[in-house]
Amino acid sequence: MKGYVLEQIEPSKFVLQMGPHHPATHGVLKLFLELEGERVARCRPEVGYLHRGIEKLAETKTYPQVVPLTDRLDYIASMINNVGYCVAVERLLGIEPPPRAKFLRTMVCELSRISNHLLWLATHALDIGAMTVFLYCFREREQILWFLEEICGARLTFSYPRIGGVRIDVEEKTLEKIDRFIDGFFQKIDEYEGLLTENRIWIARTRGVGVINPEDAIAYGLTGPSLRGSGINYDVRKHFPYDAYSEVDFEVPVGKHGDTYDRYLCRVQEMRQSAKIVKQCIQKMPEGSILAENAIELDLPPSGKKKLHPEGWSTGAFISFLKEKEPLLPEGEIYSAVEGAKGELGFFIISDGSGRPYRVRIRVPSFIHISAIPKLAEGQFLADVVAIIGTLDIVMGEADK
């Protein structure tokens, strides 16, 4: 009897819209997925839900006023955005921050990087199904946020660095506290690794998932740990040193296979290296001024318990540097990149000699990483798409600008 032959049925394509409100998309990212059974045949990401036009806004502000805008890019490690912008403007103006400011910036950047990687590890593991790691990571992340709060008074939008240095000096006792924390932190990383690195389920869910070979990884513009997982040793801190990175000793962890598991190992190793840098910064912290002499002037609120000038609030001249009539800036253009927590964070600034930037272009790693999702996800299982979004470490505030 000739019956019903299964092979003759064409598998119909099933369209699934993942997001924009999906807990695993880390913000408002939408993915159009065409599925053949459980395999992803085609993937098309869609962004722009959080677009605020930061590049346009920056053209209307003065150079120091752009610093708080950069906080809103990658809000998980906003310190690095601030530093990236400040380094770009300093290179444009030819200002050199004093050594203490450089070391302070390097220290807070690396603390931010650790806190970013902790949040990444927590949510990535949670997406894949390892709940415990989430709680472990947030324990340490909370402490780092306390330190950052003690340093600059904010937990999310820091605006701590300023053009030519940093805003406030750090007290000796805070440095001691951070030093003690870092001493114990290496052991904490061992704890996370104990939960995951040799965990059979973790390996089954991450090894061989989202593989990208080195040539493709460069061609698709991956940077940061996502690129280094494929075995390319490209780190902006080594290739274009800024701040105190040329004076501290650290290694760049590199993966081999370019899969999710290797990128995980890279980031965990990077946390160790960052902790090492923080420790060296505290040891080598020089004394002295925290602001370059030729830095742009700012009217900051008076320190201590002294009351603000009553007119200070009403005129809105809170951060009003603005001696725009003086030709204080050279004409020119500069591209300056820093190693953001996600990848290469570049700022391109054109100055026309006025007090406001003519054009600010921000090269954001998350935007480019999202454009590489189809390359990584097509042909994989639907469940692995969640792992792939996690492994690229994207944040939509940055991708949408």
Within 303-344, residue ranges assigned H as helices are: 310-314
CA distance 324 to 44: 46
Does position 14 bind another protein by CB under 8 A? no
Does position 400 bind another protein by CB under 8 A? yes
Bridge partners (DSSP) listed for residue 203 = none
Whether residue 185 contacts residue 204, with contact meaning beta carbons closer than 8 Å, is answered with no
Angle between helices 172-196 and 131-152 (to 10 degrees): 170
Q: How far is the CB of 340 from another protein (least distance, A)?
A: 13
Q: Which of 29, 189, 291, 337 binds another protein (CB under 8 A)?
A: 337
CA distance 353 to 212: 44
Q: How far is the CB of 120 from another protein (least distance, A)?
A: 22
Neighbours of 221 (CB within 10 A): 17
Query: Residue 373: which residues within 8 A CB-CB, separation 6 or more?
Result: 31, 43, 45, 388, 389, 392
- Of 3 and 94, CB closest to another protein: 94
Give 302's DSSP letter. Answer: P
Count how many Cα atoms sit within 13 Å of the Cα of residue 282 in the half-sphere of its side chain: 22
Does position 363 bind another protein by CB under 8 A? yes
The answer for 373, left when phi > 0, alpha when psi is -120 to 50, beta otherwise, is alpha
User: What's the angle, vertex CA 391, arms to CA 234 and CA 41, rounded to 5?
Assistant: 110
Does position 377 bind another protein by CB under 8 A? no
- Of 230 and 280, CB closest to another protein: 230
Q: How far is the CB of 392 from another protein (least distance, A)?
A: 14
Q: Select from 196-204, 284-292, 364-372, 385-393 the region that touches another protein (CB under 8 A).
A: 364-372
Q: Which two tokens stand for residue 142?
A: 């909370």
Does position 246 bind another protein by CB under 8 A? no
Q: Select from 2-10, 48-56, 284-292, 380-388 the region that touches another protein (CB under 8 A).
A: 48-56
Q: Select from 142-150, 219-227, 269-277, 380-388 the region that touches another protein (CB under 8 A).
A: 219-227
Q: Select from 130-138, 215-223, 282-290, 306-314 the region that touches another protein (CB under 8 A).
A: 215-223
CA distance 126 to 278: 28
What would the DSSP string read from start to end of 242-266? -TTTTTS-------SS-SHHHHHHH
CA distance 122 to 192: 10
Neighbours of 289 (CB within 10 A): 13
Q: How far is the CB of 356 from another protein (least distance, A)?
A: 12
Bridge partners (DSSP) listed for residue 45 = 31
Q: Select from 8-16, 75-83, 362-370, 381-389 the region that touches another protein (CB under 8 A).
A: 362-370
- Of 137 and 217, CB closest to another protein: 217
Q: How far is the CB of 229 from another protein (least distance, A)?
A: 16
Q: How far is the CB of 234 from another protein (least distance, A)?
A: 6
Count of residues binding another protein (CB under 8 A)? 38
The residues in 53-92 that bind another protein, with binding defined as CB under 8 A, are 53, 55-57, 60, 91-92
Q: Select from 7-15, 177-185, 287-295, 359-367 the region that touches another protein (CB under 8 A).
A: 359-367
CA distances from 195 to 53, 188, 200, 210, 386 (A): 41, 11, 10, 22, 20
- Of 155 and 239, CB closest to another protein: 239
Q: Do the strands 161-162 and 30-36 form a parallel or antiparallel pair, or are they unpaired?
A: unpaired
> What x-and-dash track marks residues 289-328 binding another protein by CB under 8 A?
----------------------------------------
Residues within the interface to another protein (CB under 8 A): 47-48, 51, 53, 55-57, 60, 91-92, 94, 218-221, 232, 234, 239, 332-335, 337, 344, 346, 348, 350, 359, 361, 363, 367-368, 370-372, 375, 400-401
